[in-house]
Amino acid sequence: MSRENFFGTLAGAVLAATVALPQSATAQDVRFAADRGEVTYAADIAPILEENCVRCHHPGTAAPMALQTYADVRRYANRIKTSVENRMMPPGWYIDSTVGIQDFKNNPQLSDEQIETITRWVDAGAPQGDMSQLAPGKEWKGEHEYWQLEDEFGWGPPDFIITAPSFTVPAESGDQWWEPETALADVVDRPITSDRWVRALETRPGDAASAYVFHHVNTGLRRDDQADNDLDGGGLTDAAVGKRIDMYPNDSGKLVRPDDRISFSLHLFSIGKEVEAKVQIGVWLYPEGERPKYATEDETSFNSGESASLRLPRYTDMLIPPNGYQELRGTFVLDQNVRVHSIRGHMHLRGGYQMMEAIYPDGRREVINKINWSHLWHTTHIYEDWAQPLLPKGTVIIATSLMDNTAQNPSNPDPEQWVVYNRRSVGEMAHIRFGITYIPDEEFQQMLEERERVLAEQAQRGQPIASR
């Protein structure tokens, strides 16, 4: 594999789609495929792939092959079967299904019926079927040409676009960090004339070449007036491998002001040719004059390890032995009521798994979620509204990360090395991000009561309850 293709597989996914909502129509179409007799590509397989796979598997993306024609799919039929049976494809979903909350808005996994249909088709020799039944395929845009929130979610174009200062990535070099800060007014495509509230953001490469040099893109707002802690700027959005979108709950948002400054943190690396790295951030706003009920903190990091509580430098306690493991655990006490709308892990190549637990003020302890780590996909897992964890003040959060520096870890580049903290992927990091919003006491109690009502209704209907 060439240097460019290797890094393209990793970096090209940075700004690829992050929220692929499940497609129920396809599952209904194939649910009773067995009753129709032979399963064919034209009637049964192509619709599944079109809705769930081709978004990435078409020319011009980081995916290793296209899956747009019968010839393409027939060639890779056995690999497709193995990948869907192992739930490796569609990729990017590493929530452990045996523990914790299982109710998410953006789980892209295929249904059991869809997997069975693909398996039967491959086992039958991958018959083509009547191609006149095949619906016309979609016209896919390049990663730098579309906004997922506009084209797939129907939100319309962004209200304004931020264009980061560009950076020349040399053809051959070590990791590069580009961290400029500038006035927000200098990098937007239209003037911001008043205070506005953000409801979603999306990060994309500025051109085709730029998609292959980014590891992550983080942005934050800088604001002089911080008298109101709810309006103090802070983080704006993060884009990483497999994560493109930040969406806030319907009652929450982030404030932007005309005189804000914006900081960028871009982690880039060389791919064998010089690239002028460009990135854009689309911003979707609430209507002018409308303020959401809550100012969300959105993604807030909880570090594994005791360095912070011991007032030591970050990850001082991280030292992963050759051919061995290390478990790090951090504890945090919430001083306000919290509603959690998303969870996202962050580790590097020696990551094993991460887990968030809660010890409630009444002594109950529960696993919120466990993420079986893959460095190729930093997916934000977005909870269903009724399954969002509600954590009262006084709750203890336990953030656990297991590092796997053995040869059994398929991502491990060299199990013979000692590994310490480093911003580069060959070093390690271990933090877990909760998308959080602070809720006042009276409203938090109302949320708890509403949650109990919803769960009781589901129980009466005989609906399985996977989350509380």
Say what the pLDDT of residue 12 is.
42
Say what the pLDDT of residue 232 is.
53
Whether omega for the bond prior to residue 64 falls within 30 degrees of 0, making it cis, is no
Q: Are residues 259 and 385 in the same domain?
A: no
In this structure, is residue 113 part of a structural domain? yes
CA 295-368-312 angle, to 5 degrees, is: 75
Q: Are residues 278 and 372 in the same domain?
A: no
Q: Are residues 367 and 435 in the same domain?
A: yes
Distance CA(3)–CA(12), nearest Å, equals 13
Q: What is the CATH number of the domain that holds 361?
A: 2.60.120.230
Total of domains in the chain: 3
Point out the domain boundary residue: 92, 110, 133.
133
Say what the pLDDT of residue 464 is.
60
In this structure, is residue 378 part of a structural domain? yes
Say what the pLDDT of residue 233 is.
57
Residue whose C-alpha is closest to residue 219's, from 130, 274, 282, 276: 282
Say what the pLDDT of residue 263 is.
95
pLDDT averaged over 10-residue windows placed end to end, the chain, 468 residues:
34 41 43 64 93 86 86 94 90 92 91 94 94 84 88 93 96 92 96 95 93 90 66 76 90 95 93 94 96 94 85 89 97 96 95 98 97 91 94 98 97 96 92 96 96 88 61
In this structure, is residue 467 part of a structural domain? no
Residue whose C-alpha is closest to residue 447's, from 289, 230, 301, 252: 252
Q: Are residues 208 and 104 in the same domain?
A: no
Q: Are residues 128 and 26 in the same domain?
A: yes
Q: Are residues 224 and 304 in the same domain?
A: no
In this structure, is residue 271 part of a structural domain? yes
Point out the domain boundary residue: 262, 292, 322.
292
Distance CA(238)–CA(14), nearest Å, equals 10
- Residues shown for the chain: 468
In this structure, is residue 7 part of a structural domain? no
Q: Are residues 236 and 192 in the same domain?
A: yes
Distance CA(218)–CA(222), nearest Å, equals 13
Q: Are residues 247 and 232 in the same domain?
A: yes
Say what the pLDDT of residue 429 is.
94
Say what the pLDDT of residue 32 is.
47
Place of tokens 């129907």: 154
In this structure, is residue 302 part of a structural domain? yes
Please check whether residue 141 is in contact with residue 148, taking contact to mean a CB–CB distance below 8 angstroms.
Answer: no
Q: Are residues 302 and 449 in the same domain?
A: yes
Point out the domain boundary residue: 276, 292, 308.
292
Q: Which domain holds residue 195?
A: 148-292
Q: Are residues 324 and 265 in the same domain?
A: no
Q: Are residues 306 and 243 in the same domain?
A: no
Say what the pLDDT of residue 152 is.
85
Say what the pLDDT of residue 258 is.
95
Spell out the SS3 assignment of the chain. Answer: CCHHHHHHHHHCCCCCCCCCCCCHHHHHHHCCHHHHCCCCHHHHHHHHHHHHCCCCCCCCCCCCCCCCCHHHHHHCHHHHHHHHHCCCCCCCCCECCCCCCCCECCCCCCCHHHHHHHHHHHHCCCCCCCHHHCCCCCCCCCCCCCCHHHHCCCCCCCCEEEECCCEEECCCCCCEEECCEEEHHHCECCCCCCCEEEEEEEEEECCCHHHHCEEEEEEEEECCCCCCHHHCCEEEEEEECCECEEECCCCEEEEECCCCEEEEEEEECCCCCCEEECEEEEEEECCCCCCCCEECCEEEEEECCCCCCCCCCCCCCCCECCCCEEEEEEEEECCCCEEEEEEEEECCCCEEEEEEEEECCCCCEEEEEEEECCCCCCCCEEECHHHCCEECCCCEEEEEEEEECCCCCCCCCCCCCCECECCCCCCECCEEEEEEEECCHHHHHHHHHHHHHHHHHHHHCCCCCCCC
In this structure, is residue 463 part of a structural domain? no
In this structure, is residue 11 part of a structural domain? no
Q: Are residues 179 and 221 in the same domain?
A: yes
